[in-house]
Amino acid sequence: MPDSAPQQLLHLVIGGELVDLEHNTFKNLDDVDIVGIYPNYATAHAAWRAKAQSTVDNAQMRYFIVHLHRLLDPNQEPAR
């Protein structure tokens, strides 16, 4: 990859209905909504916000942003 290519900081947005609000345990893994994988936090956050706002009437529904780049390269320094 050329040095001039922008760094990809992959993020995954997923969500679903939780068993309870005390834990991040999905009620049914078959129903987990995989929204998508995004090249940076800003686009992932926009997707997360849209999905979260569309399910605001269901108190058990939660969406999360997973920092895939941290899983793929755990030695990477966090952005400051």
- The answer to whether 23 touches 62, Cβ cutoff 8 Å, is no
Q: Comparing 31 with 80, which gets the higher pLDDT?
A: 31
Average pLDDT over residues 28-45: 96
What is the model's pLDDT at position 66? 96
The mean pLDDT value of the chain amounts to 89
What is the model's pLDDT at position 39? 94
What is the model's pLDDT at position 4? 66
Please give the Cα distance from 36 to 16 (Å, whole number).
Answer: 14
Please give the Cα distance from 63 to 55 (Å, whole number).
Answer: 9
Domains belonging to the chain, first-starting first, are 11-70 (3.30.70.2400)
- Annotate 24-47 with b (16+ C-beta within 10 A) or e (fewer): eebeeeeeeeebeebeebeebeeb
What is the model's pLDDT at position 5? 66
